Amino acid sequence: SKNTLKGVGYFLGGLLLTLYGFSGALVILASSLFIILILTWFLLPSDLGKTKTKAKFSHIFSNSPAINWLSAARFFLFGSRDVWFVVGLPLYLTASLGWSFEQIGSFFALWIIGYGIVQAMSPKLIRSRQSEHLPGGKTAQILAFILMLVPAGIALALYSELNPVWVIVIGLSLFAVIFAINSAVHSYLIIDWSEHDKVAMNVGFYYMANAGGRLTGTILSGLIYQHFDLIGCLITSCLFIGTAALLSQKLPQKSPA
């Protein structure tokens, strides 16, 4: 799966940083991407991905309020993860806990692979919890409120000077499980609520919001960590998740007509 490949990427990232340093790792990655670019240029069919009709930019945005609210919630949900996971946490692990690049890369790799496994199991987990009832907007809202407790608990534990290693490992594991289930619910809803002839467009808009949230979270992660350390990143994560939960109140419980 893609999460397994991401996990392998974290392993390789830690290894490259250890062996070649930051600049050397970037050169190797850039060279690899250039080789892949050349291969795809010559090997992929020239008409791949082309459509007979081109959609206007205004058509990218959904006309369905449910899709728009779900995409907004998705923006803040994924921003809440990356605002502490992407920049703040790796810097904290190396600067405050003294972890090596290999340790950080391995830890993140195992986390992302485990996250992918939980996400794949999420449909069965949700069904077993809700009998035969399918998830709706209320499910996404409840999961968001539960998820908000995790970064809040991690921040409180770090502030109370509990063992930071155990706090991070246990907290991040809980975050992975709840976040993966919440993300899977969102992915189910975007398909369920899309009209058959607009699935591709709606999913594209939805993942555009997803990417926007990740970009925003990544930028804020570095900025906030510089001024407020990891606890500041975790508090921002709570605010993002709370916003996602509030936006989820606008989601219908059943598929909109």
Q: pTM value?
A: 0.87
Residues 6+ apart with CB under 8 A from 67: 190, 193, 194, 202, 205, 206
Task: Quote the CA–CA distance of 121 and 45 in Å, as a whole number.
Answer: 35
**CATH number for the segment(s) 2-248:** 1.20.1250.20
Domain residue spans of the chain: 2-248
What pLDDT band is residue 59 in, cutting at 50, 70 and 90?
low
Task: Determine whether 142 is exposed, middle or buried from the number of CB atoms within 10 Å of its CB (0-12, 13-18, 19+).
Answer: middle
Report the residue count for the chain. Answer: 257
pLDDT in tens, 12-50: 998 999 899 999 999 999 999 999 999 998 888 877 666
Tens of pLDDT along 161-215? Answer: 999 999 999 999 999 999 999 999 998 888 888 776 677 778 888 889 999 999 9
